[in-house]
Structure 1
Amino acid sequence: MVGPKPRRAVRGATLNSESRRFNLPQVEADGDWLDAREEIDGEAPPLRTSVTIEQPRTIISRNASPDVGFDRSVNPYRGCEHGCIYCFARPTHAFHDLSPGLDFESRLFAKPQAAELLRAELRKPGYAVAPIALGTNTDPYQPIENDWRVTRSVLEVLRETRHPLTITTKSDRVVRDIDLLAPMAAEGLSAVSVSITSLDPRVAMTIEPRAPHPERRLNAVRALADAGVPVYVSIAPVIPAITDHEIEHLVERAAGAGARACFFIPVRLPHEVAPLFRAWLDTHFPDRAGKVMATIQSLRGGRDNDPGFFTRMQGAGPWAELMRTRFAIACRKHGLANRGVTLRTDLFRPPAGPQGELF
């Protein structure tokens, strides 16, 4: 007898646990009829996605970490509806006294003034050009980008000023902006990394419940490559005993889609991510939860997470070395080893000031 078809996970986190408190006002329900549904019929109310406008004073975030290849980034959104259970950005919601659990993937923040703020920062005297990274915290092409188009507005400013950029995303929505990315790539100004964690739809829909299907992401890789945009595949994160067996196949498919190179990162579980991940394992993979966590701890010096520079992105020990060896062999086999890209910085033209825009 054929068993029931597995249901797609509606959200990534299985709970909305307490986070660190930063003494902000307590978040309360808004009191509409959906909040009272549990009292009426005993069911949990459906989780809705809300978007709050955020009005930051600056939009370029600076970074001094030796583990990443950029020193500045722009994040059009805070929180991410993709709901990836492992997302290292989840703890940032605690700064709003919101949970890194379900709140992170349902109570989102958009920055509609991002393009205006970016113009102001790019025209500052003495601005030194270096690639701006998008998608370093939360995904710039998550579903709300369809309506808010904040990412699109940022790309338009970067295209206008001929400023180099990199994008990291799990969404095939990035192909919408090929009309901007392809001309920039022709001038050596753009590169895109598409993240694909698993090719198994059943696994992907559990780990990343609202991210596009893996095949759609591979199609995006192919479309970007065909348009002349340098495109990479990020196998991030690799989760032991759940996705690590797919490393070689992912590299092969990435090469077939036209990726210039691949890279991978073992799963990281900083701050509140660790208990959320453990609860998710107990719900979706109870048969191997212990094995998964034991292997992660062997990668992280006996802890759930290693925050140290130089090791946090790579892991350490026999398991980490085995992953690196397998990955390197697969990349050499498929011609994806050591194929980086250097973006130009000499074409930048500062945006016109308010007076100049009158003429």
Structure 2
Amino acid sequence: MHRLPSAFEFQNSVETIRAHHWRSYTDTYKGCEFECQYCLYKGPGEYGRHVRPVDGSIPARSDLGIVDIGTTTDPYQPMEAEQKLTRSILEAAAATEIPLFVLTRGTLVLRDVDVLRDLASAGLVEVCISVITLNEDVAAQIEPGAPRPHERLRVAEQLAAHDIPVAFHVAPLIPGLDTPENVAAMGKRLAEACGSHIFSAMLGARKPYWAPFYKSMDAAAEYCGSFETFERAYPRDFDFSRGAADTCDFEYALPALTPLRDGVTAGGATYVSENYPFLTTGALEGGIYQWKLPTVYDMASWIEARGAVAEWADFLTWYRGFGPSERLVGLVRSLWESGELFLGTRLAKQNDGYVASEELLMPAQHTLVAKRTPVA
């Protein structure tokens, strides 16, 4: 019997429903040798120095839906060359028809082109390359152990040449890291390299890693587009009063995101904002997205297309068509009732329903942090 590492439910908060379509996620390793200084799962101590395979496993089964690999640690970090745990997931997915979303900064993914190509021919995989800047000097300071940006672009182009679906993940997007012109140029360059879609998420601030992250930003300051913009958006004495990973105020987020969205659009790809659904430029369809769970963008788009108030009962009939668990239905219902579900969209609440509006429901200032809720 084919097996996967222990898997967890992905959509278990408003942030994760807002961000991605995945039903499950798994990781192959604990810790990460790439040592990205902004990592939401990085804390003080030896995170990048004592990497080991994860414990536990579950049978590979198709009802896991789209499985995200790479949520909390990179599946193609150096240890994978020997352990081959990520490759074993690909092989299990090919044998049991599990759709995979593989998120990585690693060049080692090219080793597995043979299995990825088989998965791609069945519409069962998308490889997403994480790139936050094309500035090599900045990347060397804040992603010290990861392959340089030009290497990741080369990987994406080689995967695409083998007809393997490729996307890019610009996360975290850090205000001031580069000039607006360079951010737009990066968006266009990434779009031209993949031709499909680009995800982005704002930097999430968490207290355990804030001091070392700021130290790395200080080291990169001379190479940044505007270090002053970064300091205004994310002060050194950031307020960590909320429990989630906090993002900067909307007044700083929008000027950072807009050039990226415009560049992606100019390059012919779809832009997907994980924090602000109203900035997303289109739905993701086909390939692995045959098995998607709806995001807030999908939900809001369905309501807007109705041209009338959408009551919960009508929405639920549509939503159940995607096969959400009863736990997830309950979570969405509670977020629907509280009004939190549609923050960052152009909908207005009317009694128990929602309708399209010209007004923007003000987005929340936090980003996703994966929680470990084991799959049933």
In the superposition, the TM-score normalised over structure 2's length comes to 0.64
SS at match of 2:234: helix
Tell me the residue number matched to 2:13.
65
Question: Where does residue 231 of structure 2 map in the other structure?
Answer: 293
8 A contact 1:222–1:259 mirrored in 2: no
d(CA) in 2 for partners of 1:305, 1:209: 30
Maintained 8 Å contact 2:187/2:262: no
Q: 1:214 offset after TM fit, Å? A: 1.0
Matches of 1:142 and 1:155 in 2, distance apart? 16
* Separation (CA, whole Å) in 2 of partners of 1:333 and 1:215: 21
Note the residue ranges of structure 1 that are not aligned, 5 or more in a row. 1-56, 92-99, 347-359
Q: Is the 8 A contact 2:141 2:217 kept in 1?
A: no
Residue 280 of structure 1: how far off its partner (Å) = 2.7
Match of 1:76 in 2: 28
Counterpart of 1:262, as a letter, is I
1:265 & 1:324 partners in 2: Cα distance?
9
Counterpart of 2:205? 269
The residue type equivalent to 2:8 in the other structure is: S
Deviations 1:188-225 (A, max 9, x none): 11111101112121111111111112111111111122
SS of the residue aligned with 1:107? coil
Bigger drift between 323-332 and 186-195 goes to 323-332
Kindly indicate whether the alpha-carbon contact (under 8 Å) linking 1:139 and 1:168 is maintained by their aligned counterparts in 2. Answer: yes
- Alignment correspondent of 1:51: none
For these two proteins, the number of residue pairs brought into alignment is: 268
> What do you get for the CA RMSD once the two structures are aligned?
2.9
Structure 1 residue 84 displacement after superposition? 0.5
Structure 1 partner of 2:167: 232
The CA deviation at 1:282 is: 4.0
Deviation of 1:167 after TM superposition, in Å, equals 0.7
CA distance in 2, matches of 1:222, 1:259: 10
* Rounded Cα–Cα distance in structure 1 between residues aligned with 2:234 and 2:243: 13
- Over 3 Å counting, the alpha-carbon distance change for 1:109 and 1:293 in structure 2 is farther
Aligned to 2:38, which of 62, 65, 86?
Answer: 86
Distance in 2 (CA, whole Å) between partners of 1:82 and 1:167 is: 16
- The CA distance in 1 between the partners of 2:207 and 2:187, in whole Å, is 30
Who wins on radius of gyration, i.e. which is larger?
A: 1
Q: Which amino acid aligns with 2:233?
A: T
Residue in structure 2 matching 1:258, options 194, 210, 235: 194
* Identity percentage of aligned residues: 25
Q: Aligned partners of 2:263, 2:15: CA distance in 1, in Å? A: 23
Q: Which residue does 2:264 correspond to in 1?
A: 331
* Alignment of 1:242 onto 2:177: yes
Shift of the 58–180 alpha-carbon distance from structure 1 to 2, 3 Å rule, reads closer
8 A Cα contact 2:131 2:171, kept in partner: yes
Quickly say closer, same or farther: Cα 1:285–1:175, change in 2 above 3 A.
Answer: same
Match of 2:78 in 1: 143
Local SS of the residue matching 1:236:
strand
C-alpha displacement of 1:177: 1.2
d(CA) in 2 for partners of 1:289 and 1:222?
Answer: 31
Contact 1:270 1:305 in 2 (8 A): no
Q: 1:174 aligns with which of 78, 103, 109?
A: 109
Q: 1:218 to 1:282 in 2, by over 3 A?
A: closer
Question: Does 2:49 correspond to 1:106?
Answer: yes
- CA offset at residue 105 of structure 1? 1.1
- The one-letter amino acid paired with 2:194 is G
1:170 CA displacement: 0.8
How far 1:85 moved relative to its partner? Answer: 0.4
